[in-house]
Amino acid sequence: MKLMHLSDLHLGKRVNEFSMIEDQKYILSQIISLLDREGADGVILAGDIYDKPIPSVEAVQLFDSFLTRLAKRKLPVFVISGNHDSVERVSFGAQLMEREGIYISQVYDGKVQNIVLTDQYGEVCIYLLPFLKPASVRHVFEEAEISTYQDALKKAIGEIEIDKSRRNVVVAHQFVTGASRCESEEILVGGLDQVDASLFDSFDYAALGHLHSPQRVGRETVRYCGTLLKYSFSEAEQEKSVTIAELKEKGNIEIRTIPLKPLRDMRKIRGTYLQVTEKSFYEGINTEDYLQITLTDEEDIPDGMQKLRIIYPNLMRLEYDNQRTRENRSVEAAEAVEQKSEAELFEEFFELQNNRPMSEQQQIFVKRLIQKLQEKGFDK
């Protein structure tokens, strides 16, 4: 059973105000070509289909087109919702789509959908576990003590009747402890959203979504496939890929990755203004790529962004690295630490990581927590 593992399409995403829809159309067409070449038996989409709970019209149309192309190939498709998705919107029409072999996880009600496929080695059970928050599971199991993501996932998986003599695959969208993040991912302060990899011990393969870097966590068969495209400059050095998991007889799984070639890459370049505008410099660069340029000139270039976009039309970010900026960063950091309270520093960190300010309730909670820590002498 050869399964293509994909996740985190983030259809409709904008990066530094640049729409990625054209790049996403291009990469999904590449996926279709790879499917035809590989002869996969099924496709897994492990959450974050869209970038927003209410996706744009373009994003919905693109996903509809992609599913239609998959359905024409008579391939079973296994879809779960992620933390960026509205599970109700993603699962709309799920029962109708099953007729075409497209299986979509629905709102969690205590049961996990199980689809059984068969090959020459026997049955493969594929469990669809949408992104779960503690509140989602608590709502179903009111008597259970569920306060963390670990509690929630442990309870949800514990309710599944798993026949360990068969080959079992779980599709999930959670942050497994020990995995590495990128800047483009949502982060909960303190790692509150983390779950332990041991929760997936009953499954032969865990097809994970949520983190943007392709990686294994713990054992080889607990894997994030990563995004199909780069969505932040922290990913500039990564090679994006799709993951192929081929399940043979029980206990024998072959895993490999296939690199992808984007329509436009995302890269960082640096140098003086004269250097990055010299023909000999940019001749070796695809000037259509999404770029972060760091200028090392001691003086700022007037209208530098506009001037550079004549050569590099998809310049996303312009920065300076010189004596002035280095001194400013040092002074600002020192002044900030000396003049701001612990609560203020924490609020700034929270807003930086979550792209939104803390609520009044969160501010009160943090202040009380800091006060308790200070009373116990942890500030010394």
One digit per residue, the tens of pLDDT, for the chain of length 380 reads 999 999 999 999 999 999 999 999 999 999 999 999 999 999 999 999 999 999 999 999 999 999 999 999 999 999 999 999 999 999 888 888 898 899 999 999 999 999 999 999 999 999 999 999 999 999 999 888 888 899 999 999 999 999 999 999 999 999 988 776 666 556 554 456 788 999 999 999 999 999 998 998 888 999 999 999 999 999 999 999 999 999 999 999 999 999 999 999 999 999 999 999 998 888 888 999 999 999 999 888 899 999 999 999 999 999 998 887 777 665 454 444 445 677 778 887 877 666 577 887 888 888 778 877 766 655 54
Is 350 inside a domain boundary? no
The pLDDT assigned to 194 comes to 85
Q: Are 231 and 143 part of one and the same domain?
A: yes
Q: Are 184 and 151 part of one and the same domain?
A: yes
The pLDDT assigned to 189 comes to 46
The pLDDT assigned to 363 comes to 82
Residue 44: closest CA among 199, 251, 255, 187: 255
Domain that holds residue 305: 266-323
The pLDDT assigned to 328 comes to 64
Q: Are 66 and 136 part of one and the same domain?
A: yes
Backbone φ, ψ for residue 249 (5° rounding): -70, 160
Beta bridge partners of 269: 293
3-state secondary structure of 138: helix
Q: Are 183 and 213 in contact (CB under 8 A)?
A: no
Residue ending a domain, among 203, 225, 259, is 259
Extended strands (E) in the chain: 2-6, 14-15, 18-19, 42-46, 77-80, 102-104, 113-119, 122-128, 167-173, 175-176, 194-195, 205-209, 215-217, 219-224, 241-247, 253-259, 266-271, 290-295, 315-320
The pLDDT assigned to 47 comes to 92
Q: Are 80 and 34 part of one and the same domain?
A: yes
Domain count, the chain: 2
Is 162 inside a domain boundary? yes
The pLDDT assigned to 371 comes to 72
Is 340 inside a domain boundary? no
- DSSP labels for 171-218? EEE-EETTPPP-TTS---GGGTTEE-GGGGTT-SEEEEES-SS-EEES
Q: Would you give the DSSP letter of residue 364?
A: H
Q: Are 291 and 252 part of one and the same domain?
A: no
The token pair at 236 is 């500039």
Is 252 inside a domain boundary? yes
Q: Are 118 and 235 part of one and the same domain?
A: yes
The pLDDT assigned to 374 comes to 65
The pLDDT assigned to 376 comes to 62
175-176 and 194-195 beta bridge pairing: parallel
The pLDDT assigned to 336 comes to 46
